[in-house]
Amino acid sequence: MATLGALLQHITQQNQQLQKLLPLSAEQQRAVDKKFRLEFNYNSNHLEGNRLTYGETALLLLFDQTTGDHEMREYEEMKAHDVALKMVQEEALDIERPLTEQFIRSLNKHLLVRDFWKDAQTPDGQSTRKKITRGDYKKTPNSVILPNGEMLHYTEPGKVAAEMAELIQWTNEHMHKEDPVILSSILHYRLVRIHPFDDGNGRVARLLMNYILIRKGYPVVVIKSSEKKQYLAALHKADAGDLPAFSEHIAEQVVWSFDVWLKAAKGENLEEPDDLDKELALLKNELDRRPNNFEKKRSEEELQIIVTERSVQVASAIEEKLEALKDYFVDLTINISAILYSSNNNSGIDYTYNTDKFTAKVNEGLKKYPYLRGLNIGVKGTALKKATERTDIIITNHFTFNEFDYSITINNKKEPTLKKAYGQPFTENEIKHIIGSNLRILIDTIKSATGVSA
């Protein structure tokens, strides 16, 4: 493992190399921004127990879509953290503005989304509950149990304001004196050691660390949740007086960030060994949200359902809608035709529409001739009474059966009116669409034959 000095020297060389390759193209910039946005938000929240996967994080932040069985709080926290990262990026680029207490408290306020109650313990070990007020400094003590079993007590509530003021002053004074990695890691550690808020301290510390790095022209640094043990171990070493050990850990993450930027600047693929797994998880989440359009293939069972149930459903809906036009024709009928065949014989069933009789007839025919060749729903209007010369109207709704779906085409149009997967019933809107297509032909023909323009 490289020493802190060697790491800082390597980072300086990486930065010099990157400066020669800047600016990035628009495409390169989008790719690197997307990667760091997802990596930072996912990992920083995952460190604190947020259960959204990398794929779910991408779905939420890039497409504003949710999936998975999570508490609403977890989705809100992730989106709020993304807003806080943007706040840090904007604030850091305003180089004339010093770091302020107000900004730090505003970060905590945005991260926590809303005030809430959480379980706690009194100094004598009794269970209690306390209200977490976002953006406010803690009013009760907080502490953590170290791996060795000892209790580490953070800054007492009454001293928080003074220690935070001193930390902010120290940070601003050293902004142009200290190496960015050293300055940012010390700011991170000291804020965690104060633990000024009742919740969100780790996230605020990682955001402020990046505030320093971004201001100094460095890339966003990501503390990976997969390396949580190493991260906490480095913090514990700092607690024991070895602060350079924590700076060294942060420097290793900065090296990774520069490597990503350099790859982007050189036009190289930004994928890492586990990125394909992340992309696969994102793809799976997106696919799970979509319906199965090709779950079933054409089968005797599916065709029988279409013939005996769905065609009758459509024909009944058309007939009901056309009832208002029956008086304007000498005869207006709905007809369902099913052509059945076997391997050696053909048998056509062409029966004037009557639900019960048609269904019974088809079921009887399917026993002897189990293969469906064609299915039509016909509308026939004989002799339009208001026309100046005899006008008949014929509409054919023809079913075509493919391997994974079937379609309904009206009057031999080039494109089908509706395509439907096997195993899926008609929706109300689909039936309305078929009825509407039939009605449009009828209305237009009647208007043309009668001269009615209304």
pLDDT digits (tens, 9 = 90+) for 295-343: 788 887 888 888 878 888 898 898 888 888 999 999 988 888 777 776 5
Give percent of the chain above pLDDT 70. 91
Residue 276 and residue 304 in one domain: no
The residues that are catalytic are 195
Q: Which residue has the higher pLDDT, 115 or 109?
A: 109
Residue 122: the pLDDT is 67
Residue 330 and residue 351 in one domain: yes
Of 198-207, 238-247, 263-272, 390-399, which range is least confident? 263-272
78 — pLDDT class (breaks 50, 70, 90): very high
Count of domains forming the chain: 2
Residue 223 and residue 319 in one domain: no
Taking a C-beta distance cutoff of 8 angstroms, is the pair 11, 251 a contact? yes
Tell me how far apart the alpha carbons of residues 399 and 407 are, in angstroms, rounded to a whole number. 6
Query: Does residue 212 lie in a domain region?
Result: yes
Residue 220, pLDDT above cutoff 90 = yes
Q: Which residue has the higher pLDDT, 395 or 296?
A: 395
Count of C-beta atoms within a 10 Å radius of residue 236: 17
* Secondary structure of residue 288 in the 3-state scheme: helix
Average pLDDT score over the chain: 88
Residue 123: the pLDDT is 65
Residue 119: the pLDDT is 76
| 307 is an annotated ligand-binding site residue | no
Query: Does residue 169 lie in a domain region?
Result: yes
* Secondary structure of residue 249 in the 3-state scheme: helix
Residue 425: the pLDDT is 87
Tell me how far apart the alpha carbons of residues 400 and 411 are, in angstroms, rounded to a whole number. 13
Q: Which residue has the higher pLDDT, 407 or 286?
A: 407
Residue 214 and residue 304 in one domain: no
pTM exceeds 0.85 for this model: no
Residue 26: the pLDDT is 93
pLDDT digits (tens, 9 = 90+) for 58-71: 888 888 888 777 88
Q: Which residue has the higher pLDDT, 2 or 196?
A: 196
Residue 102 and residue 225 in one domain: yes
Query: Does residue 295 lie in a domain region?
Result: no
Residue 159 and residue 181 in one domain: yes
Query: Does residue 207 lie in a domain region?
Result: yes
Residue 296: the pLDDT is 83
Residue 435: the pLDDT is 92
For 158, left (φ over 0), alpha (ψ -120 to 50), or beta? alpha
Q: Which of 258, 288, 318 is the endpoint of a domain?
A: 288
Residue 284, pLDDT above cutoff 90 = no
Please state, in angstroms and as integers, the Cα–Cα distance from residue 308 to each residue in 368, 372, 407, 425, following that order. Answer: 16, 12, 16, 13
Query: Does residue 349 lie in a domain region?
Result: yes
Residues 428-439 have a mean pLDDT of 93
Residue 276 and residue 368 in one domain: no
424 — pLDDT class (breaks 50, 70, 90): confident
Taking a C-beta distance cutoff of 8 angstroms, is the pair 124, 154 a contact? no
Phi/psi at 99 (nearest 5 deg)? -65, 135
- Across the chain, how many H-helices and E-strands are there? 15, 10
Q: Which of 233, 254, 288 is the endpoint of a domain?
A: 288
Tell me how far apart the alpha carbons of residues 61 and 81 are, in angstroms, rounded to a whole number. 10
| 202 is an annotated ligand-binding site residue | yes
Residue 174 and residue 320 in one domain: no
Residue 404 and residue 434 in one domain: yes
Residue 223, pLDDT above cutoff 70 = yes
Residue 266 and residue 204 in one domain: yes
Tell me how far apart the alpha carbons of residues 67 and 59 are, in angstroms, rounded to a whole number. 8
Residue 249, pLDDT above cutoff 70 = yes
By residue range, what is the domain housing residue 173?
4-288
235 — pLDDT class (breaks 50, 70, 90): very high
Residues 355-366 have a mean pLDDT of 67
Of 89-98, 172-181, 294-303, which range is least confident? 294-303
Residue 285: the pLDDT is 67
pLDDT digits (tens, 9 = 90+) for 18-60: 999 999 999 999 999 999 999 999 999 999 988 888 888 888 8
Q: The domain spanning residue 23 has which CATH number?
A: 1.10.3290.10
Residue 350, pLDDT above cutoff 60 = no
Query: Does residue 294 lie in a domain region?
Result: no
| Contacts within 8 Å (CB) and 24+ apart, 48-55 | 48/202, 48/203, 50/74, 50/77, 50/78, 52/78, 53/281, 53/285, 54/278, 54/281, 54/282, 55/278, 55/281, 55/282, 55/283, 55/284, 55/285
Tell me how far apart the alpha carbons of residues 351 and 371 are, in angstroms, rounded to a whole number. 18
346 — pLDDT class (breaks 50, 70, 90): low
Taking a C-beta distance cutoff of 8 angstroms, is the pair 192, 223 a contact? no
Count of C-beta atoms within a 10 Å radius of residue 262: 16
Beta bridge pairs of residue 178: none
Residue 180 and residue 265 in one domain: yes
CA 195 to chain centre: 33
| 199 is an annotated ligand-binding site residue | yes
Taking a C-beta distance cutoff of 8 angstroms, is the pair 449, 384 a contact? yes
| 200 is an annotated ligand-binding site residue | yes
Residue 158, pLDDT above cutoff 60 = yes
Residue 246, pLDDT above cutoff 90 = yes
Q: Which of 237, 263, 288 is the endpoint of a domain?
A: 288
356 — pLDDT class (breaks 50, 70, 90): low
Please state, in angstroms and as integers, the Cα–Cα distance from residue 197 to each residue in 83, 105, 123, 333, 378, following that order. Answer: 19, 9, 17, 77, 74
Residue 186 and residue 221 in one domain: yes
Q: Which residue has the higher pLDDT, 65 or 349?
A: 65
Please state, in angstroms and as integers, the Cα–Cα distance from residue 427 to each residue in 195, 288, 295, 310, following that order. Answer: 57, 21, 17, 11
Query: Does residue 293 lie in a domain region?
Result: no
